[in-house]
C-alpha cells in the first residue's frame, strides 16, 4: 500500500474479510487467501469504498483513461464516446466499449446495463454523482484549480492503489517531478514571465496561477504579468489590447476550436494574427506557443497528458 496515498487520501486496506483464511498443503507453507480486499478513497465528493482490481470499470474521466492506458490496466467496459475522446486514447472508441453518452450528458441506462464494479468521473459529471452511486461505487478524480501537481499526484496514487500498480505509479511520478524541476530551473534562471490565454469562438480569456493552468506559474516557475486575474472555469475575459499591454516573454494559448463540434469556428492562430498581437515581444521572438488542447483541457491530469504538457513548455523555452 502506498503510504503517501494513505496519508493524503485516507486510503485504508480492509483485508481478510471476516477473518476467513484458506490454507494450502503446498510444501509446509500455510498460504492465506485475501477475500474481498477494498480501499477507502477520499475524493472531492466524499469517501467511497472500492474493491481492489475491479474488473468492470466505466470511465468518464479522460485523465483516468490516460493513466490506465499508460499503466497497462485492463477492465474498462464503458467510455463517453458521444464526446471527443482525444486521438491518443482512440483505442477506447468503438464497439469493444459501451458508449455511455457524453461528458456532460451521461447515458445512465447504458451505464447500468454494463454492470460496472467502479465508475470514475470528474467535475463535468458531478451533478450526476448521486445517480451513479445507485449503480456502482463512484469516485471523482477532479482536480483543484491552482493545485495541478498536488491533484495529479493524489489521483495517480489513488489509481495505483485501486489497481495494484503502486510501484509503476511511483516510477512515473518520479520521472515527471524530475521534468518539473528541470523546467522550473530553466525558467527561473531566465526570469521568464507568461500570459496564458484560452481562445474560444473569437472570445479571449486569460488564466492565472489559481486557474486550471496554474502549473505554468506555480510549478514551472513563470511569473505572472498580471497578479490580479480573477479565477473562473474558463478564465477572465480580455481584449487584444489587454494582451498587448502585458508584453510578456511568452504567450501560451489553449485553442478550444480544436475540440469544438462547430466546424465553422476560426482557429486561435487566425484570431491572434493581427497587428496588436503581432507587435508583442512574444510574437516577435516567436514565443506564442499553441498548446495541445486535448492534453491541457480534456485529459489534463493523466500520465501521458502531463508529460505532453511538460514537453511542450520545455521545447518552447529551449529554442
Give the pLDDT confidence of 168-182 residue by residue, as tens digits.
999 999 999 999 999
pLDDT of residue 234: 76
The residue segments making up the domain with residue 113 are: 3-142
What does 80-91 look like in DSSP terms, one character per residue?
-TTS---GGGGG
**pLDDT higher than threshold 50 for residue 32:** no
Total domain count for the chain? 2
79, 109, 142: which is the final residue of a domain?
Answer: 142
Q: N- to C-terminal Cα distance for the chain? A: 42
| SS3 call for 105 | coil
Q: Residues 105-138: pLDDT tens digits?
A: 999 999 999 999 999 999 999 999 999 999 999 9
Q: What's the CA gap between 108 and 58, in Å, rounded?
A: 11
Q: Tell me the H-state helices in 105-165.
A: 108-113, 129-133, 148-162
**Cβ(301)–Cβ(155) below 8 Å:** yes
Distance of CA 271 to the CA centre of its chain: 27
- 8 Å CB contact between 145 and 33: no
**Are residue 9 and residue 117 in the same domain, yes or no?**
yes
59: nearest Cα among 142, 134, 121, 3: 121
111 and 232 part of one domain: no
Grid cell locating 15 = 483485508
Point out which residues pair with 290 in neighbouring strands.
253
- Counting runs of H as helices and runs of E as strands, what totals does the chain give? 13, 14
At 37, list the grid cell.
Answer: 480486499
pLDDT at 1: 52
- Same domain? 109 vs 225: no
20 with 137, same domain: the answer is yes
Pairing of strands 46-51, 13-14: unpaired
How does pLDDT run across 62-91, given as a tens digit for each residue?
Answer: 999 999 999 999 999 999 998 889 999 999
Instruction: Indicate if 196 and 109 belong to the same structural domain.
Output: no
Q: How far is CA 18 from CA 21, 37, 53, 78, 142, in A?
A: 9, 11, 20, 33, 34
Please give the model's pTM, rounded to 2 decimal places: 0.88
Contact 57/120 with Cβ under 8 angstroms?
yes
- Long-range CB contacts for residues 91-99, cutoff 8 Å, separation at least 24: 92/59, 92/65, 98/58
Question: What are the Cα distances from residue 184, in Å, to 45, 292, 317?
Answer: 33, 20, 11
CATH number at residue 13: 3.40.50.1980
Please check whether residues 240 and 127 belong to one and the same domain.
Answer: no
Amino acid at each position: 500500500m502506498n503510504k503517501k496515498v494513505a496519508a493524503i487520501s485516507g486510503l485504508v486496506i480492509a483485508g481478510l474479510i471476516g477473518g476467513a483464511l484458506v490454507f494450502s498443503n503446498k510444501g509446509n507453507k500455510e498460504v492465506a487467501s485475501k477475500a474481498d480486499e477494498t480501499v477507502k478513497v477520499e475524493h472531492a465528493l466524499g469517501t467511497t469504498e472500492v474493491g481492489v482490481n475491479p474488473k468492470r470499470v466505466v470511465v468518464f474521466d479522460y485523465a483516468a483513461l490516460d493513466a490506465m492506458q499508460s499503466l497497462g490496466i485492463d477492465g474498462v467496459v464503458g467510455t463517453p464516446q458521444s464526446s471527443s475522446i482525444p486521438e491518443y486514447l482512440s483505442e477506447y472508441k468503438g464497439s469493444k466499449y459501451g458508449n455511455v453518452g457524453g461528458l456532460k450528458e451521461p447515458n445512465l441506462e447504458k451505464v447500468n446495463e454494463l454492470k460496472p464494479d467502479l465508475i470514475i468521473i470528474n467535475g463535468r459529471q458531478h451533478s450526476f454523482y448521486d445517480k451513479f452511486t445507485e449503480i456502482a461505487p463512484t469516485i471523482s478524480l477532479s482536480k483543484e484549480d491552482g493545485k495541478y501537481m498536488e491533484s495529479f499526484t493524489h489521483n495517480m496514487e489513488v489509481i495505483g492503489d485501486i489497481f495494484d500498480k503502486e510501484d509503476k505509479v511511483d516510477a512515473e511520478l518520479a520521472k515527471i517531478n524530475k521534468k518539473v524541476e528541470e523546467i522550473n530551473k530553466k525558467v527561473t534562471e531566465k526570469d521568464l514571465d507568461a500570459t496564458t490565454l484560452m481562445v474560444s469562438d473569437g472570445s479571449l480569456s486569460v488564466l492565472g496561477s489559481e486557474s486550471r493552468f496554474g502549473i505554468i506559474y506555480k510549478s514551472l516557475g513563470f511569473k505572472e504579468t498580471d497578479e490580479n486575474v480573477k479565477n473562473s472555469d474558463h478564465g477572465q475575459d480580455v481584449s487584444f489590447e489587454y494582451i498587448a499591454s502585458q508584453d510578456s516573454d511568452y504567450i501560451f494559448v489553449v485553442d478550444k476550436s480544436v475540440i469544438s463540434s462547430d466546424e465553422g469556428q476560426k482557429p486561435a492562430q487566425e484570431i491572434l494574427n493581427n497587428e496588436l498581437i503581432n507587435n508583442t515581444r512574444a510574437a516577435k521572438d516567436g514565443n506564442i506557443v499553441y498548446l495541445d488542447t486535448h492534453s491541457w483541457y480534456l485529459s489534463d491530469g493523466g500520465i501521458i497528458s502531463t508529460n505532453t504538457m511538460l514537453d511542450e513548455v520545455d521545447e518552447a523555452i529551449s529554442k
